[in-house]
Structure 1
Amino acid sequence: MKFGINLFPTIGPADKSAVDHFDDALRLAVLAEELGFHHVKTVEHYFFDYGGYSPDPVTFLAAAAARTRRIRLVTGAVIPAFTHPVKLAGQLAMLDNLSHGRLDVGFARGFLPDEFAAFGIPMDESRERFEEGVEACERLWAGEDVVFSGRFHRFGPVTLLPRPAQRPYPKVLVAASITPESCAAAGRAGRGLMLVPSINKPERTREMIDLYRRSRAEAGHDPDAGEVHLSYSSYLHEDAGTARERGRRYSAYTNAKMVEAVSAWAHTRSGDYDGYQRIVAKVNSANFDKQVDEGKALVGSPEQVRAQLRQVREWYGDCTVSLQVISGNMPYEESARTMRLFAREVMPGFTVPEPGTAQAADAGAAPASPASASGTVLTG
């Protein structure tokens, strides 16, 4: 398994200035590299305390690239519907060069009605705009004298500069939420997959990952080569009770921010977002303790989190896990403690061990079967 951090802000000016937020987030990115984490990831959102301090993940990751040398940089994710593909492909290719080829590109459709309204884009176009935008970026990265003729964008012949540092282009991942077809499409295209397990029952998440891997194989791609990213709200403390109490407090804070951001779904309907009209009720009914108990958040002492991860691996295989370590206006010191405890006492048991070692024995311990789960996403 591989582990990284997801810097998804759930704060606004009343909580912390943007200057202080970015200073702290960049310190965490540097710390993540020092501790041996695989990646740092951030999101694209607008306007709300839920994600709004990160309208452009490329800008933040460029700053992180300048301060690090090894760690992967992941957009988690950029939204093609909001940016012309020539501009987006150029920004990402530039970041890939600035980071010396450390970029992995996650794309998402977006899901907040107020964001689409601000850009003047109908939500019923989101799926087509997403598919067209990703295809256009891949063609611009890989080819020369590219001529593109889509429903929303026409251009060419053009040759993108700079070319990506990674050839033919960086690893591409696709964010999915509740729609199995999104997982199947990512598999058929040979792309990676990004999921937030807290929004589905474990059985449902496993079905979506299995469908993704099966679709990769049926399309002629190596099913084991497709990277699956899972993002989990995370809080570790030496004392299990303290971890649960503080994690609950930060989760409640984050949920309050999310309620505001998704409130427009109470009066929004779109054929591209079947079932999303229920998201407001789901966020309002979220139960933190139930989510932790059902393996939808990584919260507790290092020993407890090791057990939670063994369960995750049993359910979903050797995935790439992103720890959401800043949710709910968490102070820098607490985020850093979670990362240090995880790196020192959890991560070694799940990195690739030598056969016959104590790490291999610990990594092979069998976890419990998935429990029936309900609730909604805490962050992400």
Structure 2
Amino acid sequence: MEFSILYFSGDGSTTESDKYQLLLETAKLADKHGFSAVWTPERHFHPFGGLYPNPSVISAALAMVTEKIQLRSGSIVMPLQHPVRVAEEWAVVDNLSGGRVGLSFAPGWHADDFLLRPENYTERKEVMWRDIEIMQKLWQGEEIEFVNGSGNKVQIKTFPCPIQSQVPIWITCQADATFIGAAKIGANVLTSLLYATIDDLAQQISLYRRTLAQHGHDPKSYKVSLMMHTYIGDNEQLVKQQVKQPFCNYLKTHFGLVENLAKRINFQFNPENFTEEDRKQLLEFAFERYFQQGRVLIGTPESCRQTIARLQEIGVDEIACLVDFGLDFQTVMASLNKLTDFKQNYQLRKDTSKYSSLSLFG
């Protein structure tokens, strides 16, 4: 099991001068202590916007303060971009970082985001798959035909040449169809348990691995990365007290998934007569469900170890630890130090167990 750090802050309106202190300090700590990657998203506008409107810009900055860790988009909303710009910008980051770029792509969903490319909204999923293929060809140095401002067809190559001959690709997935699409093109997947249970995810991973094999890809060569809200402390009740309000505030900006969760388990509420007290109760209910069902990596080292073991059983390869969901800087840093110890102890235990098993066979 690998561990990476993922950011998805909704607090883009802050006027503090050190808006990126948490990003920079946690990325440097993760780089120093053997985390596999840092992921930064593409998020636009209120109420869903944050500190990360362009992950290539953020990753260029991170390239300057890290040495080993992979720098990944989490995710590029491809239908909002031109594939030429994606290839160019990320080739710059690949050079600045010494070849540490990885890219996850998403089709987008919020109509307001598409004021950047309104013509792509209706067919956004088809556009994503098409433009990923174009971007990959450009990355590998192929000439691609486009139409210029005069309406003429031109062949272009993008520069600078990246260091990696092929960039590692992820697809951000929730629906079965997207897992299948990722498998068909031989891409890794980035997913979450926001909309799915662990049992749901187990079925999707199985579908993904089968589809990889059906299309000539080695299922063992591809990675399932799982985003999880993460906070580790020493006392379960104290942890719950610390994270409950920030987590509920975070859920307010994703209230649709809270409503979906309530409907899924027949939690009774009437949207037409919905009060602020109803909203509060529903958010607290959602927090308890996520907490109790192992859909977040929030708790003590022992409870988190049990969660990780279950996820490893179903085929998760990496936990993308979402750390910036509203806790203050010092609290996040203290938790990240505990996460570092947890990661090292967990990986050491698994290695020790593996070699002990091998020794039984001489």
TM range (shorter): 0.7 to 0.9
In structure 2, the partner of 1:350 is 347
The alignment of Structure 1 onto Structure 2 pairs a total of residues equal to 336
1:245-290 Cα offsets, whole Å, 9 max, x none, are 2221111110122339999x9xxxxxxxxxxxxxxx9996661111
Q: How far does residue 65 in structure 1 lie from its aligned partner after superposition?
A: 0.9
Superposition RMSD in Å: 2.9
Distance 2:318 2:139 in 1: 25
Matched, 1:331 2:328: yes
If the length of structure 1 is used for normalisation, what is the TM-score? 0.81
Equivalent residues in 2 for 1:161-180, closer than 5 Å: 161-167=159-165, 169-177=166-174, 179-180=175-176
Highest RCO, 1 vs 2 (Cα 8 Å, sep ≥ 6) = 1
Equivalent residues in 2 for 1:68-87, closer than 5 Å: 68-87=66-85
Distance 1:202 1:262 in 2: 17
Equivalent residues in 2 for 1:1-380, closer than 5 Å: 1-13=1-13, 16-17=14-15, 19-117=17-115, 119-121=117-119, 123-147=121-145, 156-167=154-165, 169-177=166-174, 179-259=175-255, 287-314=286-313, 316-328=314-326, 330-350=327-347, 353-355=351-353
Percent of aligned pairs sharing the same letter = 24
Distance 1:33 1:124 in 2: 40
If the length of structure 2 is used for normalisation, what is the TM-score? 0.85
Q: How far does residue 185 in structure 1 lie from its aligned partner after superposition?
A: 1.2
Give the direction of change, closer, same or farther, for the CA distance of 1:98–1:146 in structure 2 (3 Å limit): same
Larger Rg: 1 or 2?
Answer: 2
1:56-90 Cα offsets, whole Å, 9 max, x none, are 01111111110010011110001111111111111
> Any conservation in 1 of the 2:8–2:50 contact (CA below 8 Å)?
no
Distance 2:322 2:351 in 1: 25
What secondary structure is seen at the aligned counterpart in 2 of 1:224?
helix
The runs of 5 or more residues in structure 2 that have no matched partner are 261-277
1:115-165 Cα offsets, whole Å, 9 max, x none, are 12454245321111111211110111113322368xxx9964111111221
What secondary structure is seen at the aligned counterpart in 1 of 2:324?
coil
Give the direction of change, closer, same or farther, for the CA distance of 1:191–1:297 in structure 2 (3 Å limit): same
Give the direction of change, closer, same or farther, for the CA distance of 1:208–1:28 in structure 2 (3 Å limit): same
Distance 1:306 1:198 in 2: 20
Distance 1:228 1:155 in 2: 39
Give the direction of change, closer, same or farther, for the CA distance of 1:356–1:225 in structure 2 (3 Å limit): closer
In structure 2, the partner of 1:268 is none
What secondary structure is seen at the aligned counterpart in 2 of 1:20?
coil
1:299-341 Cα offsets, whole Å, 9 max, x none, are 1111211111112112x2241111111102x111111112111
> Any conservation in 1 of the 2:44–2:113 contact (CA below 8 Å)?
yes
Distance 1:282 1:77 in 2: 29
The runs of 5 or more residues in structure 1 that have no matched partner are 266-280, 362-380
> Any conservation in 2 of the 1:229–1:322 contact (CA below 8 Å)?
yes
Q: For residue 175 of structure 1, what is the amino acid of its counterpart?
A: T
Give the direction of change, closer, same or farther, for the CA distance of 1:198–1:261 in structure 2 (3 Å limit): closer
